[in-house]
A and B are shown apart, each in its own frame.
Chain A
Amino acid sequence: MTQSAHDETLLSARGLNLRFGNVIALDNVDAELWPGEVLAIVGESGSGKTTLLNVLSGRMAPQSGVVWYRDAQGHLADVHAMSAPALRALHRSDWGFVHQNPRDNLRMGVTAGGNVGERLMAQGSRHYGNIRQEAIDWLAQVEIDASRVDHLPRTFSGGMLQRLQIARTLVTHPRLVFMDEPTGGLDVSVQARLLDLIRTLVRRLGIACVLVTHDLAVARLLAQRVMVMQAGRVVEAGLTDQVLDDPQHPYTQLLVSSVLSA
């Protein structure tokens, strides 16, 4: 069998369960991610997809189940057994998290350049000139003009804020990025630009990505594999185009047939 190169998972989760009172957010969920792969989690609001993202990234603890992360040296770590400082270090170095609302990640009182440079400084960079230059380079990559480097994020539009968040997240070259509805709340023309940017950067840098979206077109554009969630359970998973073009589960058939095609 030719499962070449990347035989080992980057992230794997087994038997995740989580209830909020009598609401089941995660019902015995398994998930796996391989290096360089984009996995989309789709489903309607309240299906548990953002909860799953939070549990996979260690931001929220499951009531049972385990999440393993394999670092660049090949060591396996149980994400929920790590110390808080170790998990924070992981989020600063190997991982990135792109929030639906960029204000949850950006520091609004710090300049655009500072927001990007801060992640580098957290990793140990100290040379001011280099940090500033790298920040400007990254602003260019996300199509923000270098003249805006010293401006505060509150002078930016929604689409620019989201692009700034992406620059801030990717500047440290993470191996794994979690994205929660990265195009949610943006108007359509801005979405297209952002999607193109994410697609290009993720592929060029070979970043693995877990992407939560309710937009099936976003999943089709960005992800090789997709998981469909309903009421905390994964009802269907597989190749993105197969799941969307030949859905098997009643809920997936409903989801696919409910989309208006423009």
Chain B
Amino acid sequence: MIMLQTENLSKNFLLHLQGGVRIDVLRGVDFDVRAGECVALAGPSGAGKTTLLRSLYGNYRAGGGAIRVRHEGAMVDIVTVSPRVVVEVRERTLGYVSQFLRVVPRVSALEIVADAARGMSHDAARRRAADMLNRLHIPTRLHGLPPATFSGGEQQRINLARGFIGSHPILLLDEPTASLDNANRDIVIAMILEAKAQGIAVVGIFHDTHVRDSVADRVFHVLPLQDAA
């Protein structure tokens, strides 16, 4: 079952402050991912992998084409629906793990993760968040602290716990293992495989070829436009 599909997707950036320079990044992208499948986005640096991933989440506004997401049984084109519907799709269907954690002042690591849980009581969410943080080797003494002062790798693991706790039917991962050591990298691989086994559709950017080979069923090549032409 197709969970997410793009049709003739394009994206350009028009930089008004730089004299109206127009940068074309994506053109004619047809892409899909099925339930339980993991598709890796590959291509040279600057080809537009992150731009594609952000467009799929609605963080970047597509220039043209469609991005259809299976949301509660129906296909919703997040390019054309109202922002309110995108908010709802993100709450219930579309999860996203960015490269960097956006720290909220004063909010503890545990609450940041528990906050993203769905369909459980606050206490259950906190227990589940603690389990996930423990699994990712975040020591219990750090759970109650705001992660602003944590290391890059610790922040990334909190971001991952936050992304996975919601069990969204579709999960977008931008370099989920970039600053992790091998032990933690293997845990993330296991988490992705478990998500796939649950039927979650995963789209990810994995520079680490070991991670990519371990989790990806297919590779989708994103090419710089001048090369593609």
| Contact residues, B101-120 vs A (CB, 8 A) | 104-107
- Evaluate contact between B17 and A246: CB separation under 8 angstroms: no
- Evaluate contact between A1 and B74: CB separation under 8 angstroms: yes
- Evaluate contact between B104 and A241: CB separation under 8 angstroms: no
**What is the bound-complex CA distance between A4 and B76, given in angstroms?**
13
**What is the bound-complex CA distance between A192 and B72, given in angstroms?**
36
A224 within 8 A of B: yes
B53 CB, nearest partner CB in chain A, Å: 12
A261 CB, nearest partner CB in chain B, Å: 12
- Evaluate contact between A196 and B105: CB separation under 8 angstroms: yes
Contact with A along B112-130 (1 / 0, CB 8 A): 0000000000000000000
A64 within 8 A of B: no
B11 CB, nearest partner CB in chain A, Å: 9
Number of interface residues of A (CB under 8 A): 26
| Contact residues, B77-118 vs A (CB, 8 A) | 81-88, 104-107
A90 within 8 A of B: no
Number of interface residues of B (CB under 8 A): 26
- Evaluate contact between B104 and A221: CB separation under 8 angstroms: yes
**What is the bound-complex CA distance between A192 and B148, given in angstroms?**
13
**What is the bound-complex CA distance between A225 and B54, given in angstroms?**
17
- Evaluate contact between B17 and A253: CB separation under 8 angstroms: yes
**What is the bound-complex CA distance between A257 and B59, given in angstroms?**
17
- Please list 28 pairs of residues, one from A and one from B, whose beta carbons are closer than 8 Å in the complex, sorted by A's number: A1-B81, A1-B85, A2-B85, A2-B88, A3-B82, A3-B84, A4-B88, A34-B84, A37-B84, A192-B105, A193-B106, A196-B104, A196-B105, A196-B106, A199-B104, A224-B87, A225-B83, A238-B83, A239-B87, A242-B58, A242-B59, A242-B83, A245-B60, A246-B54, A248-B61, A250-B16, A250-B17, A253-B17
